Amino acid sequence: MNAIISASDLAKDLVGARPPVLLDIRWQLTAAKAAGEPPFDGRAAYEAGHLPGAVYVDLERELASSPGKAGRHPLPDLAHFGTAMRRAGVSSGTPVVVYDGGQGWAAARAWWLLRWTGHPDVRVLDGGLPSWEGALDTSVPAPAEGDFVPEPGAGLLDADAAAALARSGVLLDARAGERYRGEVEPIDPVAGHIPGAVSAPTTENVGADGCFLPAGELRARFEGLGVTEGARVGVYCGSGVSAAHEVLALAAAGLPAELYVGSWSEWSSDPDRPVAVGPDPQ
């Protein structure tokens, strides 16, 4: 099953025999608060207009737990996550499509969580809300309660497993290149990267239109970064959000990967963990 869906195909599915549950995951990094600007309000954006029938899901409150030593966006409490998904109408036997404001990071976080906890049919709207050409709605739906019960599966890395994978397989760093090299660090306490990790900015997985590159181009990109057939691959970023987008891109290319959710925000909070700087992985 393809992990992404185009807006035209989604429009067809919504009037088909098995319409998907729609989840709106609009979210942005709140670093703008440091400049005195108000943080992005995903719920307000949702209420101003969303795909008809879509339910808003709050990334900070429902797709993550409180920030701390485990990072800025640790895994959510699974009971709380399950309650949020059932409230949104998610059932195990019903397809789900998630979307955000176009960047794709937040939608990918929801996609990864649902897939990791056992939902068999989840896709991300390619290009997010800007790709949708139909009418938007401002009413807030009240879907019937779903029956999805999350059960954690494989594909999750902790800090020690990520460090080991950087030596034995391929660990991709999905942050911007300048953060990987340690030239700037606007959020976390230490600049640099996990020793052995390879720089692979998430932004290079999409074209100018915000949609994913074709599967063949994505596969060629990752092969150029050392991802070979059968290799064990892991991904991290700042806090486990944009890295989920990279896991999604890898899935679209037919390449399975694991996610280090704590990512650099967890790694850099421990002064005993090594840090590499510069363009060289080591």
Catalytic, out of 237, 244, 247, 253: 237
Q: Could you say which DSSP state residue 143 is in? A: P
What is the rounded CA–CA span in Å between residue 224 and residue 228?
Answer: 9
Residues 203-212: b if buried by 16+ CB within 10 A, e if exposed:
ebbbeeeebb
Long-range contacts of 174-179, Cβ-Cβ distance < 8 Å, separation of 24 or more? 174/200, 174/201, 174/202, 174/235, 174/236, 174/237, 174/242, 174/243, 174/245, 174/246, 175/201, 175/202, 175/237, 175/238, 175/242, 175/264, 176/201, 176/203, 177/201, 179/238, 179/264
Q: Is 237 a catalytic residue?
A: yes
Give the bridge partners for 195, in sequence order.
none
Query: Which two structure tokens, joined as six digits, stand for 217?
Result: 């181009």
Could you give the residue numbers annotated as active site? 237
